[in-house]
């Protein structure tokens, strides 16, 4: 099933166009990181379609700025690095009844080495393990909804590496920030596959998405010299012509998430990896910026990651 289906949308289609005609009245959505970058546009699009959107946030003061958006949007305290905080948030959501959409959007990228919890590498801990704890805690609410969907934000960075099965937390080898980020994005993709394996029979649909290259606060840990070396900006901090052709607008960056969350065309395609508001093809040899690596949608790898992650979480 991992092949494009002709969605009718393209690389630069804005989220508002993807959501035209979609009615989410009476639906409840949770969007992690829904107050920054493409998360704001995802929150905006879902709320505009009539959903009540709940945005968990570590920084409540910053998150409350999105309350100026049109629609029914609420903010609640949660920290993806604090599992007790996640459980408290999830308990409140479960008490409300059914949860229709869970958008696992929050994340960190290429940050300096940092350890959280019992010594976990912070990118894997935040991007994958935190969202796994949240999703599992919200399962009673998700499975109580009529047609629940979970969308996991991955990235083309998953091309960097498969799961580092023997050393996921860089205990044996020196920390390398891009390998750590790439691993966490592979984990996000495999987590969607594993969710589909385990709960697809109960009506849940799970998807992984690559939003595209976008200039957002996600790049906050990158040095100017590094972005110049990548060809993203010039020495004055302006986007290069190459970057202008490569990067999407923030609203277009939210379109694949919104499409995966709502498109009827995906009703029989649970577990797939999507990009540019369509299902992605398996990447060809040498491809780096498009398609999905076979290891990131491998059912055996997904089951193995689930088991390994549960052991980490105790």
**Cβ neighbour number for residue 130 with a 10 Å cutoff:** 26
Two structure tokens written together for 72: 């029914």
Two structure tokens written together for 12: 């630069």
Residue 242: exposure state from Cβ atoms within 10 A (0-12, 13-18, ≥19)? exposed
SS3 content of the chain, % helix, strand, coil (to 5): 45, 15, 40
Gap between the Cα atoms of 209 and 274, Å rounded:
5
Gap between the Cα atoms of 19 and 305, Å rounded:
33
Active-site residue, selected from the candidate residues 9, 35, 175, 181 = 181
SS3 171: coil
Reference 206, options 58, 53, 103, 111; nearest CA is 103
Catalytic residue status for 175: no
Q: Where are the beta strands (DSSP E) in 174-301?
A: 205-210, 273-275, 278-279
Q: Is the dihedral of CA 32, 36, 41, 45 positive or negative?
A: positive
Two structure tokens written together for 314: 């105790």
Q: In 200-298, which ranges are continuous DSSP H helix? A: 224-230, 241-246, 250-253, 255-262
The residues near 198 (Cβ < 8 Å, ≥ 6 apart) are 306
Two structure tokens written together for 109: 């990228």
The residues near 136 (Cβ < 8 Å, ≥ 6 apart) are none
Q: What residues are annotated to the active site?
A: 181
């Amino acid at each position: 099933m991992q092949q494009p289906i002709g969605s009718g949308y393209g690389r630069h289609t804005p989220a508002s166009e993807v959501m035209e005609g979609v009615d989410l009245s009476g639906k409840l959505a949770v969007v992690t990181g829904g107050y920054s970058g493409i998360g704001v546009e995802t929150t905006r699009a879902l709320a505009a379609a009539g959903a009540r959107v709940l945005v968990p946030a570590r920084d409540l003061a910053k998150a409350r700025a999105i309350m100026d958006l049109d629609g029914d949007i609420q903010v609640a305290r949660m920290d993806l690095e604090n599992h007790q905080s996640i459980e408290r948030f999830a308990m409140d959501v479960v008490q409300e009844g059914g949860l229709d959409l869970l958008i696992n959007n929050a994340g960190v990228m290429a940050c300096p080495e940092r350890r959280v919890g019992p010594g976990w590498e912070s990118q894997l801990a935040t991007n994958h393990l935190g969202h796994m704890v949240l999703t599992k805690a919200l399962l009673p609410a998700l499975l109580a909804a009529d047609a629940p969907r979970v969308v996991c934000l991955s990235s083309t960075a998953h091309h960097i590496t498969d799961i580092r099965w023997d050393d996921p937390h860089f205990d044996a080898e020196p920390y390398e920030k891009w390998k750590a980020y790439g691993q966490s994005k592979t984990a996000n993709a495999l987590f969607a596959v594993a969710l589909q394996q385990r709960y697809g029979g109960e009506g849940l649909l799970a998807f992984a998405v690559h939003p595209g290259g976008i200039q957002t606060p996600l790049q906050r840990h990158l040095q100017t010299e590094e972005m110049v070396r990548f060809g993203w900006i010039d020495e004055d901090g302006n986007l290069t012509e190459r970057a202008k052709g490569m990067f999407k607008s923030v609203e277009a960056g939210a379109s694949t998430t919104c499409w995966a969350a709502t498109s009827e065309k995906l009703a029989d395609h649970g577990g797939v990896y999507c990009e540019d508001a369509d299902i992605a093809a398996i990447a060809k040899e040498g491809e780096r910026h498009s398609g999905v690596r076979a290891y990131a949608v491998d059912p055996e790898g997904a089951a193995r990651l689930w088991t390994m992650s549960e052991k980490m979480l105790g």
